Amino acid sequence: MIVKVAKKAGFCFGVKRAMQMAFDEVKKSDDIYSLGPLIHNKQAVERFEKDGLLTVDSIDEIKDNKKVIIRSHGVSKNIYDLANSKNLKIIDTTCPFVTKIHEIVRKFKEQNYEIIVLGDKNHPEVVGINGWADNECIIIKNLEEAKNLSIDNSKKYCVVSQTTINIDTYEKIKEILQSKISNIVFNNTVCSATKERQDASKELSNEVDVVVVVGGKHSSNTQKLAQICSENVKTFCIETKDELDKEELKKYKVVGVTAGASTPDWIIEEVISFLESI
């Protein structure tokens, strides 16, 4: 079996940075908490938890004066306020690209713009962004919702996007909103790491008989890579090599491997070695 790996796959700049910051802190601290799973990768989170990191869902679960890690997805302003009121030491691993969105949203909200976020309202990054505009953002996730959006053209609108949305979706929604709204400012905040991984996966899917996408089941960018590849070729989405069906894979000659931005190298390498052994 020939194994081809996508030109861009695995940890992006923001996740790599967050992992390094978290690793350094966990090594030297006893009581250290992560507000939500550190990244959307179960295996990587389990490694950190083994080293003592405690994952909690709410800041209320953390005792005063302890350390808390803010994930690369970022959080809303009120979480910082709550953490400060409990005198927590904040290890802020928010990706700088996400921080930039918080700043845009805050600035335009202050100028009385209606904020539109293109993304998934349940994704932690979007929940965080919404919190920088008093939780009053209009959140739309697809073309249908953009078409059906009711607009008040006496108001000003500002658009940002979740960093991991598909760039084609962003462009199509932009076109729809432009045709409906007279006073609108667009901020393309789709992260280039996302686009690079999506482009590389698309390219790979045209060159192979089957694609294996490696990444967390809850990782939105991993699921999008799987969706892009499956439009061209048979695609399997897995978290670890243990989910691969050796007999099924024997049917194919050339297999492509790609991975979401929150997939650690060691998991990708295990998958590649397994495939090469077939």
Rounded to whole angstroms, the Cα distance separating 197 from 178 reads 28
Element (H, E) at 260: none
Which residue is at the shortest CB distance from ligand SF4?
Answer: 14
- When the beta carbons of 118 and 184 are compared against ligand SF4, the nearer one is 118
Contacts of 55 (CB under 8 A, 6+ apart): 33, 34, 36, 37, 38, 45, 49
* Pick 14 or 131: Cβ nearer ligand SF4: 14
Within 8 A by CB and 6+ apart from 121, the residues are: 127, 130, 139, 141
| Contact between 260 and 213 (Cβ < 8 Å) | yes
Catalytic hit among 125, 203, 239, 248: 125
Smallest gap from Cβ 198 to ligand SF4, in A, equals 11
Nearest-angstrom CA–CA distance, 29 and 21:
12
Judge whether 19 and 44 are in contact, CB under 8 Å.
yes
Cβ closer to ligand SF4: 164 or 255? 164
- 97 near ligand SF4, rule: CB under 6 A: yes
Work out which of 12, 59, 237, 259 binds ligand SF4, going by CB under 6 A.
12
Nearer to ligand SF4, 62 or 222 (CB): 222
| Among residues 62, 98, 229, 267, the one that binds ligand SF4 under rule CB under 6 A | 98
Closest CA to 53 of 41, 63, 45, 42: 45
Choose one: 12-20, 147-155, 177-185, 245-253; the region binding ligand SF4 (CB under 6 A).
12-20
Measured distance CA(52)–CA(54) in Å, rounded: 6
DSSP 97-159: HHHHHHHHHHHHHHTTPEEEEES-TTSHHHHHHHHTTTT--EEE-SHHHHHH----TTS-EEE
Residues 158-217 that bind ligand SF4 (CB under 6 A): 163-164, 191, 193-194
Residue 67: how many CB atoms within 10 A of its CB? Answer: 18
To the nearest whole angstrom, how small is the minimum distance from the Cβ of residue 16 to ligand SF4? 8
Listed ranges 6-14, 56-64, 246-254, 266-274: which one lies at the site for ligand SF4 (CB under 6 A): 6-14
Site for ligand SF4 in 56-75 (CB under 6 A): 72
Active-site residue, 171 included: no
Q: How far is the CB of 118 from ligand SF4 (least distance, A)?
A: 14
Query: Which sequence positions are flagged as catalytic?
Result: 125
Applying CB under 6 A, which residues contact ligand SF4?
A: 12-15, 72, 95, 97-98, 163-164, 191, 193-194, 261
